[in-house]
Amino acid sequence: MNNFELSALYHHADKASNRAQRSFHFALATSLISLILIATISVLDFQSRWLAAAQLLLLLLSLSLTAYLAVSQPQRTWFGTRALAESVKTVSWRFAMRAEPYNSGDDIARKAFSENVRRIMKENEVSRSVLAETNSALITESMNAVRSMPLGERVSIYQRERVDNQLEWYQLKAKRNTTLSWRWFAAIIVLHAIAILCAVGKLIEPLTQFWPTDAIVAAASSALAWIQARRFQDLSASYSQTFFEIGLLKETLPLVTTEAAFSSFVGDAENAFSREHTQWRARRDAT
């Protein structure tokens, strides 16, 4: 953002979340691909020690990755640090915009902000690994600078860098998840259709050795597991709902002409944005 810089705590939590997300998706994808290759080798049924060795290595790889996901639980770190990052972001915007509960004097607001951030970190157990990397101030110079601006300038910054930014982000994410959901379900349908054709072919020609039904079924099952892990449909619905709410809120922004009205608007907007990191906390607690 050009005029508003969040604290190092947010950036560390954001990076930690992205790393954990990549680790989870990479481990899961590699494990699923390994299972598909294992099924494919079984279908080939060639008398080869190299293939047998490759199948054994793939089984060990899949087992290792499954153990890693069960023990290390990178998804828990991903959800927890994302919840931390988004929580810090929303209270930072409230502080900079002088919105409740930071609409009192600067000293009182700074104290309340620091206490709230510490409470957020205390409630988030995965924040300990993030805190080890963070020694910077929780309130940045740009946050103080924006807070000291007149109402009109703060409204303009909030609309441009927060409301419009989130509106665009949720719209793009909703469309992307909808598209990916349809593509993956289409792939599953195609794979099932091919598997059915192979099963029919095997029924007609039972003496034919190569019918890759098992490998195709493994691929379809892996695709379904990937869809469930990525939650394309759920995220599309959630993002679409938030996008709609933000759009409605934006329509009322021109009516904001007082500090009290702006504080109320920011509170409503941040509550809409906060739904997502509330869900991140719920996902973390469920794992």
List the Cα angle 238/240/172 in 5-degree steps. Answer: 110
Which of these, 107, 113, 78, lies nearest to 93 by C-alpha position? Answer: 113
Across 188-204, b (16+ Cβ under 10 Å) vs e yields beebeebbeebeeeeee
Position 125 pLDDT exceeds 90:
no
Judged by average pLDDT, the poorest of 41-45, 170-174, 282-286 is 282-286
- Residues 6 or more apart whose CB falls under 8 angstroms from that of 258 comprise 151
The predicted-structure confidence for 17-56, as pLDDT tens digits, reads as follows: 999 999 999 999 999 999 999 999 988 877 788 888 999 9
Mean pLDDT of 107-122: 91
The C-alpha atoms of residue 129 and residue 125 are separated, in whole angstroms, by: 9
Q: What are phi and psi of 21, to 5 degrees?
A: -65, -45
The model carries a pTM of 0.86
pLDDT by residue (tens digit) across 218-241? Answer: 999 999 999 999 999 999 999 999
Domain ranges within the chain, ordered by starting residue: 8-286
User: Which three-class secondary structure state does DSSP give residue 23?
Assistant: helix
Name the CA radius of gyration of the chain, rounded. Answer: 25
What is the rounded CA–CA span in Å between residue 107 and residue 274?
26
DSSP class of residue 254 equals G
Q: Which residues contact 252 (CB under 8 A, 6 or more apart)?
A: 265
26-45 as b/e: b if 16+ CB within 10 A? ebbeebbebbbbbbbbebee
Q: What are phi and psi of 72, to 5 degrees?
A: -75, -30
Judged against a pLDDT cut of 60, whether residue 208 lies above it is answered with: yes
What's the pLDDT at 172?
A: 96
